[in-house]
Amino acid sequence: MWSLLEAAWARLGPDVGQARQALVVRPGGTPAGPAVLKGALPDFLDALRRLCQGLSAGELIALDRAVERKLWEIDRADVHTVIGGSDDGFLYARGFTVAMGRDFHSSVAGDPQTGVPWAECEEMCYFFAHLHHERFGAFPDTGSGISRESGQNLAGWLG
């Protein structure tokens, strides 16, 4: 999944790449300025959609399951404290974190203070599921037994 996201971002040029890198390497608590990235999200999602055109149903299900897992991993109270949001808003904020790629997701998972408050990417949360539905007529069942919805990773909220 991560390599596919990187390929989509790479199509948007060096300015966007530098803005993404700045999320990860910003010095000592400097607030992130994600305006460039928020503006680039529609182009990123279009590029990602184009990259997925030839994928099989199984490949889209696997990608949806990978996104589901990454959203679940950061479904935690300490992450919510930083990035905020209502139940849906927190899901969409986690979607932004996943959409920014492996480095940023790992940064936030390891240190929630690196998260970007109130930055959202709702589309990323079910991106591959929607592609599966469009192409194959049904939403996939990941069979994972986990939920990407907010507050479902009990260890992240209680422990």
- What is the value of pTM for the model shown? 0.93
Structural domain for 46, as ranges: 2-24+34-138
| Triad 44, 97, 93: Cα angle to 5° | 100
pLDDT digits (tens, 9 = 90+) for 107-157: 999 999 999 998 999 999 999 999 999 999 999 887 888 888 898 998 889
Average pLDDT rounded to a whole number, residues 12-40: 78
User: How high is the pLDDT of residue 31?
Assistant: 52
Q: Is the pLDDT of residue 7 over 90?
A: yes
Q: Is the residue at 153 inside a domain?
A: no
Question: Which are the contacts of 103, defined by CB distance < 8 A and separation ≥ 6?
Answer: 20, 21, 24
Q: Is the residue at 129 inside a domain?
A: yes
Q: Is the residue at 156 inside a domain?
A: no
User: What whole-number distance in Å separates Cα of residue 133 and Cα of residue 112?
Assistant: 33
**Token code pair at residue 138:** 């049904």
User: How high is the pLDDT of residue 142?
Assistant: 74
pLDDT above 70: percentage of residues in the chain: 94
User: What whole-number distance in Å separates Cα of residue 59 and Cα of residue 67?
Assistant: 12
Q: Is the residue at 54 inside a domain?
A: yes
Tell me if 36 sits within 8 A of 19, measured CB to CB. yes
Total domains, the chain: 1
Q: Is the residue at 154 inside a domain?
A: no
Q: Is the residue at 146 inside a domain?
A: no
User: What whole-number distance in Å separates Cα of residue 18 and Cα of residue 157?
Assistant: 33
User: How high is the pLDDT of residue 159?
Assistant: 65
Q: Is the residue at 158 inside a domain?
A: no
- Lowest mean pLDDT, pick from 34-38, 95-99, 111-115, 120-124: 34-38
Q: Is the residue at 144 inside a domain?
A: no
Give the residue, 78 or 24, on which the prediction is more confident: 78
